[in-house]
Amino acid sequence: MDNLEKVEKLRERANVTYEEAKAALEANNWDLLDAMVALEKAGKTESPKQENYSTSYEQQEQYVRVQEKIEEEQAKATHSRTLGEALRRFFRICRDNYFVVSHHGNVIFQLPLIVTILILLFTWKVTVPVLLISLFFGVHYSFAGKDDLKGANRFMDTASNVADNIKEGFQNGGKKDEQ
């Protein structure tokens, strides 16, 4: 930056005349910062309006709002999947996982989830009652495959336990164990 630019910049920042800016720069070996300080000490320019600065959290409310805004945008981005993405994920899960039917720990058969869904979709009036009734004969249902299906398997275990409890209730004639 040449001397003329320095004079212009100091004149704008300090709100002084060209002569005062040039004299301050010459007196301070053309250093802008030193010239600005010299003009402030001489009372020819106003000192900054705000003199105390803080990095405390309480005084930085605008940053908190910005962080909340960023978190909201990230939440929207993760929840705003397109229909195509949702369908691809659904078909991937159906392709990579199986519906397993077992009796007393022995696997009877396993079907890909897509086949299971199609069977349920087209023959639900027959399939759902058969699935429910077979629970009372010791048949157990579960899911296996690449994905984490623990939640679905817990549901299937709960259904089996409920069926076992109902079966025990009928076998005991509705009486509770007496001890």
Asked if residue 51 belongs to a domain, the reply is no
Asked if residue 162 belongs to a domain, the reply is yes
What does the pLDDT read at residue 99? 92
Asked if residue 84 belongs to a domain, the reply is no
The mean per-residue pLDDT over the stretch 97-112 comes to 90
pLDDT tens, position by position, 27-76: 999 898 888 888 888 888 765 555 565 665 555 555 556 667 777 777 77
DSSP string of 135-167, one letter each residue: HTTTEEEEEEESS--HHHHHHHHHHHHHHHHHH
List Cα–Cα distances, 172 to 11, 138, 168, in angstroms.
100, 17, 6
Asked if residue 47 belongs to a domain, the reply is no
What does the pLDDT read at residue 61? 54
pLDDT tens, position by position, 115-124: 999 999 999 9
Asked if residue 31 belongs to a domain, the reply is yes
How many domains is the chain partitioned into structurally?
A: 2
pLDDT tens, position by position, 128-152: 999 989 988 989 999 998 887 888 8
What percentage of the chain has pLDDT greater than the value 70? Answer: 81
Is residue 36 located within the same domain as residue 100?
no
Domain residues for the domain of 22 are 3-41
Asked if residue 78 belongs to a domain, the reply is no
Average pLDDT, the chain: 82
Asked if residue 130 belongs to a domain, the reply is yes
What does the pLDDT read at residue 4? 85
Split at pLDDT 50, 70, 90, the class of 179 is: very low
In whole angstroms, what is the distance from residue 104 CA to residue 18 CA?
98
Task: Check residues 45 and 17 and name the one with the higher pLDDT.
Answer: 17
